[in-house]
């Protein structure tokens, strides 16, 4: 039946041969055009760019805007293209078109990082990246010395910026250090330790990298390098200072926490023995305290739990 | 030739601004299809030519007057053509009613008469054309729109003011009827 239908359809399609007479077609065209031009005021239209723009926006909106496949395709192609660009930017060197993008991306990453300590770590990472770039530039063989020097200048400038912002951060922390409380202090301390170790690494690798330069290049970038190395060392020093400053505080805190346990227990004891034989209670508590100091903090907690019972039993035996 | 949607829209935009050249282009794009579509309805070249011309005049007037968004120009032109043919038959019927009743009996169905007069002259193409002429107008119309003018089902639904489902049913029935008539002719 399908075949029979197909045959009929083919036959019907042959009727496409029926066409208007070509002379009539042409004459009618002229007739129509002359008629419409006499009846209405017509003029050849030249669309402006603006009108073309509006037209295409309308067509796209009508035809494609809500088609899920098109939307998915657009999103996909955009994300693929952008990931390629980001990837390419990641490997770019100063002077290359995508290098700016790399820096902008780094700034964006910084902007969306809420925690201060993470920010410093990121800044240090970026500085390390600059050192890596520096390394890559030095090891390049396919560029002219002028380009190389230019790139080194650029990367040094960026490195100084990075190092400068880390330094700023450390300085800020040193200045506000006096007023910080417990948990913040701990954070600052962690940060300072991280900064110290990382800046030391940075200074070391910078020193190494200078060795890879030729004499002429060395002369060109020496001052920049010295400056950068100096500020890196300064950061390291400030970080060390930060550590030193915060350590005495911590040490001062520690004895307090150590003594606090017996105090608490003594308080517990005194409340338990209230209205009973005070002398005996006080005596047992001293014994307990002595045993705590001998058996370390973990045991002391366990003992502190058992203390009231011990006290009670002792008291009961004393009662008539 | 099926024009690109975007080309059609651009021409529409220009015609709206009363550009005769753009209208000329629309004419070039559709004149053959519209002529053929009307020809299958009136079965007379002269009438088909007159009506085709009239369709384009009406379309021009509509496009420059109407401010509504036009979604499918092609479907719109076919719809105009279809309505004009309906008017054409209505007017003719009126004239015949007013005129001589004997005359009316003679010209019972002018379209069929036209076809009959052509039967002798047509040989090759004629066969299927005569079969088509013999079937009901609704069936012939869907077959022409679908297989000669190559319109989509949704375009046909717009032109015929029917649902897509009923257009499919009509097509199916039309094919079945034509197949039966062809079979009968071959065996007879």
Sorted by where each begins, the domain ranges of chain A are 53-90, 104-257, 273-318
CB contact under 8 A, B57 and A12: no
Contacts of A85 (CB under 8 A, 6+ apart): A98, A101
CATH 1.10.1060 correct for A104-257: no
Q: What angle do CA A277, A278, A279 make, to 5 degrees?
A: 95
Could you give all domains of chain B from N- to C-terminal order, each with its CATH number? 1-110 (1.10.1740.10), 122-188 (1.10.10.10)
Question: Closest Cα to residue B174, out of A8, A311, A122, A152?
Answer: A8
Band of pLDDT at residue A85, cut at 50, 70 and 90: confident
Who among A18, A31, A51 is closest to B36 (CB)?
A18
Quickly count: other Cβ atoms within 10 Å of residue B178's Cβ. Answer: 24
B180 and A CB contact within 8 Å = no
Instruction: Output the pLDDT for position A271.
Output: 44
pLDDT per position as a tens digit, A278-312? 444 444 444 444 444 444 444 444 444 444 444 44
Per CB-CB distance under 8 Å, the chain A contacts of B52 are 20, 28
B143 vs chain A: nearest CA distance in angstroms?
8
CB distance A234 to A195 below 8 Å:
no
The overall average pLDDT reported for chain A is 69
Report the 3 state secondary structure along B100-113: CHHHHHHCCCHHHH
State how far residue B170 is from chain A, nearest Cα, in angstroms.
14
- pLDDT tops 80 at residue A270: no
Q: Smallest CA–CA separation between B58 and chain A, in Å?
A: 10
Most confident of A10-24, A66-80, A171-185, B90-104: A10-24
Contact B36 A24 (CB under 8 A): no
Q: Which of B23, B38, B121 to probe the A interface (max A CBs under 10 A)? A: B23
Distance between A54 CA and the closest CA of chain B, angstroms = 11
Q: Using a CB–CB cutoff of 8 Å, tell me whether B13 touches chain A.
A: yes
- Per residue in B43-89, pLDDT (tens digit) is 888 999 999 999 999 999 898 888 777 888 889 999 999 999 999 98
- Contact (CB<8Å) A42/B18: yes
Mutation site, A3, A27, A30, A32, interface B, largest B CB count within 10 A: A32
- Are the beta carbons of A232 and A206 closer than 8 angstroms? yes
Q: How many whole angstroms separate alpha carbon B111 and alpha carbon B38?
A: 11
Q: Rounded to an integer, what distance in angstroms lies between the CA atom of residue A194 and that of residue A200?
A: 10
Whether this model's ipTM surpasses 0.95 comes out as no
A40-49, A229-238, B40-49: segment of lowest average pLDDT: A40-49
Q: Burial-class residue B140 by CB neighbours within 10 Å (0-12, 13-18, 19+).
A: buried
pLDDT in the model for residue A217: 66
Q: Are A315 and A273 in contact (CB under 8 A)?
A: yes
Please tell me which residue of chain A has the smallest CA distance to B35: A20
Q: Are B51 and B85 in contact (CB under 8 A)?
A: yes
pLDDT recorded at residue A276:
45
Q: For residue A31, list chain B residues with Cβ-Cβ distance below 8 A.
A: 53
Q: Is B122 on the interface with A (CB under 8 A)?
A: no
CB-based contact, B22 to chain A, within 8 Å = yes
- Burial (Cβ within 10 Å: 0-12, 13-18, ≥19) of residue B130: middle
* Helix residue ranges per DSSP H, A113-144: 116-139
Give dist(CA A36, CA A44) in Å, integer.
13
Which residues in chain A are contacts of B127 at CB distance < 8 A? 11
Size of interface A-B (CB pairs under 8 A): 105
CA distance A246 to A50: 66
- Does B52 contact A at CB distance below 8 Å? yes
How far B97 CA lies from chain A's nearest CA (Å)? 31
Is A12 close to B128, i.e. CB distance below 8 A?
yes
Minimal CA separation from A12 to chain B, in Å: 7
Q: Is the per-residue pLDDT at A174 higher than 70?
A: no
Full-model pTM: 0.47
- Which residue from B23, B35, B175 is facing A8, i.e. has the nearest CB? B175
Instruction: Decide if A24 and B9 are in contact by the 8 Å CB cutoff.
Output: no
Beta carbons of B125 and A41 less than 8 Å apart? no
**Confidence at residue B99, expressed as pLDDT on a 0 to 100 scale:** 59
Helices B5-16, B20-42: crossing angle, 10 deg rounding: 110
DSSP state of A178: G
- Residues of chain B neighbouring A29 (CB-CB closer than 8 A): 24, 27-28, 31
Q: Quote the minimal CA–CA distance from B172 to chain A in Å.
A: 10
């Amino acid at each position: 039946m399908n075949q029979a239908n197909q045959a009929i359809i083919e036959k019907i399609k042959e009727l496409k041969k029926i066409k208007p007479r070509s002379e009539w077609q042409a004459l009618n065209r002229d007739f129509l055009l002359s008629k419409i031009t006499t009846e209405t005021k017509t003029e050849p239209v030249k669309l402006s760019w603006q009108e073309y723009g509006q037209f295409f926006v309308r067509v796209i909106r009508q035809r494609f805007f809500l088609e899920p496949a098109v939307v998915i395709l657009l999103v996909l192609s955009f994300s693929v293209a952008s990931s390629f660009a980001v990837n390419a930017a990641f490997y770019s060197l100063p002077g290359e078109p995508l290098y700016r993008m790399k820096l902008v991306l780094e700034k964006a990453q910084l902007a969306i990082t809420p925690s201060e300590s993470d920010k410093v770590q990121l800044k240090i990472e970026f500085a390390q990246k600059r050192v890596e770039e520096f390394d890559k530039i030095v090891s390049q063989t396919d560029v002219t010395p002028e380009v190389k020097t230019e790139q080194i200048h650029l990367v040094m400038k960026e490195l100084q910026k990075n190092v400068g912002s880390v330094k700023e951060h450390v300085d800020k922390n040193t200045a506000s250090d006096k007023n910080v409380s417990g948990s913040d202090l701990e954070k600052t301390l962690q940060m300072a330790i991280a900064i110290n170790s990382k800046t030391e690494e940075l200074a070391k690798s910078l020193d190494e990298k200078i060795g890879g330069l030729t004499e002429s290049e060395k002369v060109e970038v020496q001052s920049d390098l010295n400056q950068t190395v100096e500020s890196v060392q300064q950061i390291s020093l400030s970080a060390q200072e930060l550590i030193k400053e915060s350590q005495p505080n911590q040490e001062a805190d520690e004895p307090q926490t150590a003594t606090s346990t017996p105090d608490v227990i003594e308080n517990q004891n005194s409340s338990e023995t209230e209205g009973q034989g005070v002398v005996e209670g006080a005596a047992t508590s001293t014994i307990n305290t002595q045993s705590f100091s001998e058996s370390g903090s973990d045991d002391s907690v366990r003992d502190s739990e058992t203390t009231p019972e011990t006290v009670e039993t002792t008291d009961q035996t004393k009662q008539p | 030739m099926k024009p690109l949607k975007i080309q059609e829209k651009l021409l529409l935009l220009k015609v709206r601004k009363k550009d005769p050249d753009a209208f000329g282009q629309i004419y070039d794009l559709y004149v053959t299809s519209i002529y053929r579509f009307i020809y299958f309805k009136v079965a007379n070249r002269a009438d088909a030519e007159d009506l085709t011309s009239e369709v384009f005049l009406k379309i021009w007037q509509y496009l420059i007057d109407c401010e509504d968004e036009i979604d499918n120009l092609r479907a719109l032109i076919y719809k105009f053509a279809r309505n004009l043919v309906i008017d054409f038959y209505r007017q003719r019927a009126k004239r015949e009613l007013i005129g001589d009743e004997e005359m009316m009996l003679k010209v019972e169905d002018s379209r069929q008469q036209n076809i009959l007069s052509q039967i002798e002259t047509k040989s090759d193409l004629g066969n299927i054309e005569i079969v088509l002429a013999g079937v009901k107008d609704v069936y012939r119309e869907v077959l022409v729109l679908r297989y000669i003018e190559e319109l989509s089902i949704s375009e046909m639904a717009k032109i015929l003011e029917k649902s897509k489902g009923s257009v499919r049913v009509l097509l199916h029935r039309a094919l079945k009827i034509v197949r039966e008539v062809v079979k009968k002719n071959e065996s007879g």
